[in-house]
Amino acid sequence: MDLFPWVGFFLFCSFWSVIFCDQEVRLLTSSQLDKSFSRTLTTGFLSISCGGSTSFNDSSNILWTPDTTYISTGKTTSISYNDGTSLLNVSARFFPDSRGRKCYRIPVDNATSLVLVRAKFVYKNYDGLGNPPTFSVSLGTAIAATINLTKDDPWTEEFLWTVNKDTLPFCLIATPNGGSPVISTLELRPLPQGAYTSGMEDVSDKLLRKSYRIDCGYTNESIQYPLDPYDRMWDADRSFTPFHVATGFKIQLSFNQSSLMEKPPASVLQTARVLARRNMLTYNLLLDALGDYYIILYFAGVLPVFPSFDVFINGDLVESNYKINSSEISALYVTRKGISSLNITLRSISFYPQINALEVYQMVDIPSEASSTTVSALQVIQQSTGLDLGWQDDPCSPSPWDHIGCKGSLVTSLDLSGVNFRSISPTFGDLLDLKKLDLHNTSLAGEIQNLGSLQNLEKLNLSFNHLTSFGEELESLVSLQILDLQNNSLQGLVPDSLGELENLHLLNLDNNKLQGPLPESLNKETIEIRTSGNLCLTFATAICDDASSTPTIETPQVTIVPTKKHNVHNHLAIILGVVGGATLALLIICLSVLLHMTKRRYEVSHTAREEMDIKNWGAAKIFSYKEIKAATGNFKEVIGKGSFGSVYRGKLSDGKSVAVKVRLDKTQLGADSFINEVHLLSKIHHQNLVSLEGFCHESKHQILVYEYLAGGSLADHLYGTNSQKTSLSWVRRLKIAVDAAKGLDYLHNGNEPRIIHRDVKCSNILLDTEMNGKVCDFGLSKQVTQADATHVTTVVKGTAGYLDPEYYSSQQLTEKSDVYSFGVVLLELICGREPLSHSGTPDSFNLVLWAKPYLQADAFEIVDGSINGTFDIESMRKTAYIAVKSVERDASLRPNIAEVLAELKEAYDIQLRFLESI
């Protein structure tokens, strides 16, 4: 009974071998087909010889290239070793510096959906130290595998990566005491669309790491390209358990090759393992790690009999009575969670259990990326340090950047102590998940600012700086537990509001210039306060200890520091610094005197209204609030919004359209400042500056009335909604750029006092109906008053993406800051994208960082697609050149606006001539 099937089987075989005669011919045709298919496919192959120095074709005619274009760190070596049959000679790159990630950045064609990434690691004692390294490798944000060259040398890994970026970061990450990571080859192979997804739930957040790929029943060398056109490595079926008989059946496959997404190659399906004597065929496979696995079993109806069987995986019946049909390829896709070994068993129902190939993959979770706001904020911070901190790709995964700590994909700590910042830039306020911020010894001066949004911050270290004022934002840090302000120059009183921080338990104020009583609100058992090395700092109830009040010989002084707090109309707050033997009583007296003085000042400014009317206002008219209300139809149509308030559309009684800008209460200037500013604005008339028609300053209202420009803003045209968006031609863009540069040139050079715009951006360049450009919103401007002044020191936010990186360290805005911002506008005109984009790869978030290298290399593929082919190369080159110069980090290397204007005019003329010539 046991013999019968075999007899029948062999009969079948001889019978078929006769019939198969003409199919042998087809076998040839089929492998020829494979080959021609492969030849076209190799174009998608990328084979990198790590540490290699020349390109070469291997025996399969695959082109290998050196790795120098993909990585810039590490050292190279060549390794010779005997693989048992022959002497091999490979190159390698190794990384003796064990800090951080060492990444290959490999371009991937996003038209492919899935790639096979294969890496080979060889140690073979190339360094003579006899110390094989252990390290991790990552793909994108995922740690994909741990390489232990003690265990296996050489070591090969294969991964299947779902393409979601145009660059694949492949990194080697050292482990502590693990030795120097080393790599020999890295290969990328596109896989068929849609493959390796069947039977899996979430494909997108999974990376597949190959555990096994077995060509069942095949015992020779492993199969690769060109037999598998996708160049997967199919290993021979070596681990025969005692009771199994392997049979290699070389039978022509005449069935539909594309019925399976994975397209297993014909030569793999031609062989099978078939059970002969027992009714169970088992593969016992050890797995590297406890984890989730993806299993594919391939079956091909290559035999003249058509078996059916039950399929068990680790004892679970996953398919009962599975049938293999004649001339059909089929596959079973199974996932198993939390397993560390695999038992694949086929239990016969009729004929013999049979399997042609199998693949087993570990499913590795891909951690999500940090938010783009965080990434671009960190990039701006890196840019502002002027240092290369090596911050690339994702800050948290696969391993956190240097100086950064993460929880999941959240950046929770940042330690930049020792970097020269000078001030806390607004960008720090975007790192919303921070729990710990260490900026000690970073040369910070002035007030503590821009951190108010960090609601999760628990530890803030600003010690060893030159800070002079607490600022007003500390009280917003509701989670704050430890505040270290020691060794600064903080002056005056400790703000009462610190007592509102309920979680605060350590406040270190050692070695500052603070004095006076500590606020009672801090007099709690839960807070430890360190105060030594100040002038005289105790709770009012305690007696000032002479020893702690460092005696100085300074004369008593009163310092008036401008601040914004709770003072709508003016910005004078008072800190009294009474040094020496001044008593509290004296303090109070001084305070009340000063308060009185301020109040009087305030009254004075309000009576300025009458004086105003007599001033010479140029062309600007004075409007009453009633007139403004009528003109705007009671503020009906909002056409713009900003941090200063809203802009409304209006129509004056003479029919003229106007834009009415109403300042919010909190952005209102002191009466004097407002009048000064209006006075200044009313004198500025230039065809490329939006002109002031008039203003209203009445009962708490500060309103500016501007000419209305019907063409909208440049930003509307570039990025607006469909109705606003127009496809601006290159010549049109250049004309607008020339116009705007003329306007800025007038502000910088054509006018006394000189004016720095401070907020140049696309939405501040307006267009009239003839598409002439005009710069607006220079109301925010500060005049450069002193004849010798080279800068203005202000607290200004500017607009993210446009702000001069030098501003962060210098706190000084100059005309060159406007040039920087205008350079960003030029880059936008060239590339047709916004300065900060929150899509794409982290490398492309920041327009300046992204575009610069391309433009410097005359690589115009980043030019806005909608003007492609319509611009003169020379005109583009000139514009790109001046744009890139304008965004130089070092302000002294930037051109001035007049130089920018001259270049743009030339670029414009060239483009005009080009258009005439075609």
Ligand X SMILES: *[C@@H]1O[C@H](CO)[C@@H](O)[C@H](O)[C@H]1NC(C)=O
Residues with a known catalytic role:
759
The residue from 125, 131, 239, 256 that contacts ligand X (CB under 6 A) is 256
Please say which residue, 312 or 644, places its beta carbon nearer to ligand X: 312
The residue from 258, 723, 769, 917 that contacts ligand X (CB under 6 A) is 258
The residue from 166, 520, 672, 752 that contacts ligand X (CB under 6 A) is 166
Please say which residue, 261 or 662, places its beta carbon nearer to ligand X: 261
Does position 240 bind ligand X by CB under 6 A? no
Q: Show contacts with ligand X in window 97-156 (CB under 6 A).
A: 110, 134, 148, 150-151
Helix (H) or strand (E) holding 107: strand 101-107
The residue from 32, 55, 125, 856 that contacts ligand X (CB under 6 A) is 55
Cis peptide before 398 (omega within 30 of 0): yes
Q: Considering CB under 6 A, how many residues would be counted as binding ligand X?
A: 26
SS (H, E, C) 162-192: ECCCCEEEEEEEECCCCCCCEECEEEEEECC
For Cα atoms 455, 501, 466, give the angle at the middle one, nearest 5 degrees.
80
The residue from 299, 312, 361, 401 that contacts ligand X (CB under 6 A) is 312
Please say which residue, 137 or 741, places its beta carbon nearer to ligand X: 137
Dihedral, 548, 553, 557, 562 alpha carbons, nearest 10: -70
d(CA 512, CA 104): 48
Does position 858 bind ligand X by CB under 6 A? no
Helical H segments across 3-71, by residue range: 4-19, 21-41
Does position 239 bind ligand X by CB under 6 A? no
Does position 555 bind ligand X by CB under 6 A? no
Please say which residue, 470 or 850, places its beta carbon nearer to ligand X: 850
The residue from 69, 72, 73, 284 that contacts ligand X (CB under 6 A) is 284
**For residue 114, with 0-12 CB atoms within 10 Å meaning exposed, 13-18 middle and 19 or more buried, which class applies?**
buried
CB of 178 to ligand X, least distance (A): 6
**CA nearest 430: which of 368, 371, 367?**
371
**CA nearest 620: which of 682, 691, 680, 697?**
682
CB of 859 to ligand X, least distance (A): 13
CB of 280 to ligand X, least distance (A): 7
CB of 284 to ligand X, least distance (A): 5
Does position 785 bind ligand X by CB under 6 A? no
Does position 338 bind ligand X by CB under 6 A? no
φ/ψ (deg, to 5) at 732: -65, -40
Residues for the chain: how many in total?
918
The residue from 36, 57, 667, 676 that contacts ligand X (CB under 6 A) is 57
Helical H segments across 545-670, by residue range: 584-606, 608-614, 625-631
The residue from 6, 56, 243, 539 that contacts ligand X (CB under 6 A) is 56
104 CB-near residues (< 8 Å, 6+ apart): 48, 67, 70, 71, 169, 170, 171, 186
CB of 300 to ligand X, least distance (A): 14
Does position 254 bind ligand X by CB under 6 A? no
CB of 61 to ligand X, least distance (A): 5
Strand partners, 483: 460, 507
The residue from 36, 60, 69, 78 that contacts ligand X (CB under 6 A) is 78
Binding region for ligand X (CB under 6 A) out of 33-41, 256-264, 494-502, 775-783: 256-264
Does position 383 bind ligand X by CB under 6 A? no
The Cβ of residue 664 has, within 10 Å, a number of other Cβ atoms equal to 12
d(CA 456, CA 436): 9
| Local structure of 415: helix, strand or coil | strand
Does position 687 bind ligand X by CB under 6 A? no
CB of 102 to ligand X, least distance (A): 18
SS (H, E, C) 623-635: CCHHHHHHHCCCC
Cβ pair 218, 284 in contact under 8 A: no
Does position 330 bind ligand X by CB under 6 A? no
Please say which residue, 258 or 892, places its beta carbon nearer to ligand X: 258
- Determine how β-strand 436-438 pairs with β-strand 459-461: parallel
CB of 73 to ligand X, least distance (A): 21
CB of 134 to ligand X, least distance (A): 4
Does position 456 bind ligand X by CB under 6 A? no
The residue from 29, 72, 220, 350 that contacts ligand X (CB under 6 A) is 220
φ/ψ (deg, to 5) at 632: -95, 10
CB of 148 to ligand X, least distance (A): 4
Please say which residue, 270 or 487, places its beta carbon nearer to ligand X: 270
Please say which residue, 247 or 456, places its beta carbon nearer to ligand X: 247
d(CA 671, CA 426): 28
d(CA 405, CA 418): 17
Does position 82 bind ligand X by CB under 6 A? no
Does position 869 bind ligand X by CB under 6 A? no
The residue from 11, 25, 28, 63 that contacts ligand X (CB under 6 A) is 63
| Local structure of 905: helix, strand or coil | helix
Gap between the terminal Cα atoms of the chain: 89
Please say which residue, 19 or 111, places its beta carbon nearer to ligand X: 111
What sign has the CA pseudo-torsion 409, 414, 419, 423?
positive
Please say which residue, 180 or 488, places its beta carbon nearer to ligand X: 180
Q: What are the angstrom distances between the C-alpha of 558 and each of 149, 404, 573, 600?
A: 70, 42, 12, 19
149 CB-near residues (< 8 Å, 6+ apart): 121, 123, 132, 133, 134, 155, 182
CB of 60 to ligand X, least distance (A): 11
- Determine how β-strand 445-447 pairs with β-strand 466-469: parallel
Does position 611 bind ligand X by CB under 6 A? no
Print burial letters for 338-347: b (CB count within 10 Å at least 16), e (below 16): ebeebebbbb
Please say which residue, 153 or 768, places its beta carbon nearer to ligand X: 153
Binding region for ligand X (CB under 6 A) out of 57-65, 673-681, 729-737, 891-899: 57-65
Does position 327 bind ligand X by CB under 6 A? no
Binding region for ligand X (CB under 6 A) out of 118-126, 252-260, 386-394, 753-761: 252-260
Does position 222 bind ligand X by CB under 6 A? no
Flag whether 661 is marked binding: yes
Please say which residue, 159 or 312, places its beta carbon nearer to ligand X: 312
Q: Show contacts with ligand X in window 756-775 (CB under 6 A).
A: none
d(CA 681, CA 667): 18
Cβ pair 406, 435 in contact under 8 A: no
Which positions make up the binding site for ATP?
661
Residues of each annotated binding site: 661
**Residues of this chain that bind ligand X (CB under 6 A):** 55-57, 61, 63, 78, 80, 87, 89, 110, 134, 148, 150-151, 166, 220-221, 256, 258-259, 282, 284, 312, 315, 343, 345
